[in-house]
Structure 1
Amino acid sequence: MPQRKETSEAALVENQGKILIKETAKARKIAFVGDHLPRKCGIATFTSDLLSAIATAYPESQCLCVSINDIKGGYEYPEVVRFEIEEQDLSSYLRAADFLNISNVDIVCLQHEFGIFGGPAGGHILAFLRELRMPVVTTLHTVLREPRPDQRRVMQEIISLSTRVVVMAERGRQMLQEIYAASPGKIDLIAHGIPDVGFVDPAFFKDQFGVEGKIVLLTFGLLSPNKGIEYVLKALPQVLEEFPDVVYIVLGATHPNELREHGEAYRMSLELLAKKSGIEKSVIFYNDFVELESLKEFIGAADLYITPYLNEAQITSGTLAYTFGAGKAVVSTPYWHAAELLAGDRGVLVPFADAEAMGREISALLRDDIRRHAMRRNAYRCGREMVWSNVAQLYMQSFEQARLQGTAPSRKSLLTKTLDLRPPQLPALKLDHLQRMTDSTGVFQHANFSIPNFAEGYCTDDNARAFILTVLLEELGQDRESVCAMATTCASFLQYAYDPHTRRFHNHLGFDRRWLDEQGSEDSQGRAIWALGFGVGRSPYRSFQFISGQLFAQALPAMTEFTSPRAWAFGLLGIHEYLRHLSGDTLVNQTREALLSKLVDLLDRNSSADWPWFEQELSYDNAKLAHALILTGRATGQQDVLQRGLDALRWLNQVQISGKGHFLPIGSNGFYKRGGPRAEFDQQPIEAQAMVSACLEAYRATSDIWWYEQSQRAFDWFLGWNDLGLELYSPESGACGDGLHVDRVNRNQGAESTLAFLLSLAEMKLTNNMMTSFRKPTANGN
Structure 2
Amino acid sequence: MRGTTKSASPDFNVAFVGTYVPRLCGIATFTNDIAKSVARWYPDDAFENRYVRVVAMSNGVYSYPKEVFFDIREKFKTDYIKAAEFINISNVNVVSLQHEFGIYGGEHGSYVLDFLKNLKKPVVTTLHTVLEKPIEGQKEILEEICNLSSRIVVCAQKAQEILERVYRISSEKISMIYHGAPDVPFMDPSYYKDILNLEGKTVILTFGLLGPSKGIEYGIEALSKVYRDYPNAVYVVLGATHPEVKRLYGESYRISLQKMAYEEGIADNVIFIDRYVSFEELMNFLIMADIYLTPYLSLEQIVSGTLTYAIAAGKAIISTPYWYAQEMLQDERGILVPFRDSDALSQALRRLLTDIPYRNRLRKNAYDFGRKMIWKNVSREYIELFDEAIKTYSKEKNFIYISKRDLIEKESFQTKLPSVHLTHLKFLTDETGILQHALYNMPNRNHGYCVDDNSRAFMALLLYYELFKDQSILYLLYRFLSFIHNAFDEKTGRFLNFLRYDRTWIDEFSEDAHARTLLALATAIQWPAVPELIPICATIFEKGIKQVENFTSVRGISLSIIACDKFVRTYPGAKEIKDILINLSGKLFELYKNNISDDWIFPEDILTYDNARQPQALIRAGQQLGSDEMIELGIRSLRWLIEIQTNPETQYLSIIGNRGWYERGSQKAQFDQQPIELSSISCACIDAYFQTGDKYFYNTAMKALRWFLGENDSFCPVARVETGGCYDGLEPQGVNKNMGAESTISYLMTLLHSYKLTFKRGD
Give the TM-score normalised by the residue count of structure 2: 0.51
1:199 maps to 186
2:338 maps to 351
SS of the equivalent of 1:128 reads helix
Question: Does 2:309 match 1:325?
Answer: no
1:731 maps to none
Question: Does 2:34 match 1:50?
Answer: yes
Question: Does 2:210 match 1:226?
Answer: no
SS of the equivalent of 1:50 reads helix
**Unaligned regions of 5+ residues in structure 1, if any?**
1-18, 430-772, 775-782
2:54 maps to 65
Match of 2:287 among 292, 296, 300: 300
Question: Does 2:93 match 1:106?
Answer: yes
Preserved contact between residue 27 and residue 399 of structure 1 (Cα < 8 Å): no
Q: Shift of the alpha carbon at 1:239?
A: 1.5
Q: Shift of the alpha carbon at 1:241?
A: 2.3
SS of the equivalent of 1:142 reads coil
Question: Does 2:232 match 1:245?
Answer: yes
Question: Does 2:21 match 1:41?
Answer: no
| Letter of the structure 2 residue corresponding to residue 324 of structure 1 | I
| Letter of the structure 2 residue corresponding to residue 36 of structure 1 | Y
SS of the equivalent of 2:56 reads strand
Q: How does 1:588-737 map to 2 (within 5 A)?
A: none
| Letter of the structure 1 residue corresponding to residue 230 of structure 2 | F
Q: How far apart in 2 are the matches of 1:424 and 1:285?
A: 55
1:274 maps to 261
| Letter of the structure 2 residue corresponding to residue 350 of structure 1 | V
Match of 1:313 among 293, 300, 319: 300
- Describe the superposition over 1:62-111 as per-residue Cα deviations: whole angstroms up to 9, x where unpaired: 1110000112xx20111111111000100011111111111121010001
Q: How far apart in 2 are the matches of 1:106 and 1:189?
A: 22
Q: How far apart in 2 are the matches of 1:136 and 1:101?
A: 12
| Letter of the structure 2 residue corresponding to residue 232 of structure 1 | G
1:405 maps to 392
Preserved contact between residue 27 and residue 107 of structure 1 (Cα < 8 Å): no
SS of the equivalent of 2:241 reads coil
- Describe the superposition over 1:530-579 as per-residue Cα deviations: whole angstroms up to 9, x where unpaired: xxxxxxxxxxxxxxxxxxxxxxxxxxxxxxxxxxxxxxxxxxxxxxxxxx
- Describe the superposition over 1:628-649 as per-residue Cα deviations: whole angstroms up to 9, x where unpaired: xxxxxxxxxxxxxxxxxxxxxx
Q: How far apart in 2 are the matches of 1:360 and 1:404?
A: 53
Preserved contact between residue 299 and residue 323 of structure 1 (Cα < 8 Å): yes
Q: How far apart in 1 are the matches of 2:238 and 2:29?
A: 16
Q: Shift of the alpha carbon at 1:425?
A: 14
Identity %: 45
- Describe the superposition over 1:282-313 as per-residue Cα deviations: whole angstroms up to 9, x where unpaired: 01000011111110000011000000100011
| Letter of the structure 2 residue corresponding to residue 344 of structure 1 | D
Preserved contact between residue 27 and residue 106 of structure 1 (Cα < 8 Å): no
SS of the equivalent of 2:180 reads coil
Match of 1:118 among 82, 99, 105: 105
Q: How far apart in 2 are the matches of 1:282 and 1:314?
A: 29
| Letter of the structure 2 residue corresponding to residue 224 of structure 1 | G
SS of the equivalent of 1:241 reads coil
Q: How far apart in 1 are the matches of 2:22 and 2:57?
A: 12
SS of the equivalent of 1:239 reads coil
Match of 1:32 among 16, 23, 28: 16
Q: How does 1:128-167 map to 2 (within 5 A)?
A: 128-167=115-154
SS of the equivalent of 1:217 reads strand
Q: How far apart in 1 are the matches of 2:162 and 2:4?
A: 27
Q: How far apart in 2 are the matches of 1:345 and 1:171?
A: 19
SS of the equivalent of 1:209 reads coil
Q: How far apart in 2 are the matches of 1:231 and 1:371?
A: 23
1:723 maps to none
| Letter of the structure 2 residue corresponding to residue 107 of structure 1 | V
Q: Shift of the alpha carbon at 1:178?
A: 0.8
1:440 maps to none
| Letter of the structure 1 residue corresponding to residue 377 of structure 2 | N
SS of the equivalent of 1:249 reads strand
Q: How far apart in 2 are the matches of 1:392 and 1:49?
A: 9
Preserved contact between residue 4 and residue 41 of structure 2 (Cα < 8 Å): no
Q: How far apart in 2 are the matches of 1:32 and 1:331?
A: 33
Q: How far apart in 2 are the matches of 1:216 and 1:422?
A: 61
Question: Does 2:243 match 1:262?
Answer: no
Q: Shift of the alpha carbon at 1:377?
A: 0.4
Q: How far apart in 1 are the matches of 2:333 and 2:391?
A: 38
| Letter of the structure 2 residue corresponding to residue 293 of structure 1 | E
Q: How far apart in 1 are the matches of 2:162 and 2:128?
A: 13
Which structure would you say has the larger Rg?
Answer: 2
| Letter of the structure 2 residue corresponding to residue 205 of structure 1 | Y
Q: Return closer, same or farther for 1:279/1:420 CA change in 2, 3 Å cut-off.
A: same
| Letter of the structure 1 residue corresponding to residue 53 of structure 2 | L
**Unaligned regions of 5+ residues in structure 2, if any?**
410-761
| Letter of the structure 1 residue corresponding to residue 14 of structure 2 | I
Q: Shift of the alpha carbon at 1:28?
A: 2.6
Preserved contact between residue 239 and residue 359 of structure 1 (Cα < 8 Å): yes
Q: Shift of the alpha carbon at 1:25?
A: 4.0
- Describe the superposition over 1:360-403 as per-residue Cα deviations: whole angstroms up to 9, x where unpaired: 11111211111111110000000011111111100000000001
SS of the equivalent of 2:40 reads helix
Question: Does 2:170 match 1:186?
Answer: no
Aligned residue pair count = 404
Q: How does 1:159-178 map to 2 (within 5 A)?
A: 159-178=146-165
- Describe the superposition over 1:728-751 as per-residue Cα deviations: whole angstroms up to 9, x where unpaired: xxxxxxxxxxxxxxxxxxxxxxxx
Q: How does 1:478-489 map to 2 (within 5 A)?
A: none
Match of 1:365 among 337, 344, 352: 352
Q: Shift of the alpha carbon at 1:58?
A: 2.2
Preserved contact between residue 69 and residue 87 of structure 1 (Cα < 8 Å): yes
- Describe the superposition over 1:693-746 as per-residue Cα deviations: whole angstroms up to 9, x where unpaired: xxxxxxxxxxxxxxxxxxxxxxxxxxxxxxxxxxxxxxxxxxxxxxxxxxxxxx
SS of the equivalent of 1:242 reads coil
Q: Return closer, same or farther for 1:59/1:114 CA change in 2, 3 Å cut-off.
A: farther
SS of the equivalent of 1:204 reads helix
Q: How does 1:449-488 map to 2 (within 5 A)?
A: none
| Letter of the structure 2 residue corresponding to residue 82 of structure 1 | F
Q: How far apart in 1 are the matches of 2:27 and 2:359?
A: 31
SS of the equivalent of 2:15 reads strand
Preserved contact between residue 22 and residue 393 of structure 1 (Cα < 8 Å): no
SS of the equivalent of 1:32 reads strand
Give the TM-score normalised by the residue count of structure 1: 0.50
Q: How does 1:475-624 map to 2 (within 5 A)?
A: none
Q: How far apart in 2 are the matches of 1:267 and 1:160?
A: 41
What is the CA RMSD across the aligned residues, in angstroms?
2.5
Q: Shift of the alpha carbon at 1:24?
A: 3.0
Q: Shift of the alpha carbon at 1:133?
A: 1.1
Preserved contact between residue 38 and residue 76 of structure 1 (Cα < 8 Å): yes
1:394 maps to 381
Q: Shift of the alpha carbon at 1:428?
A: 9.6
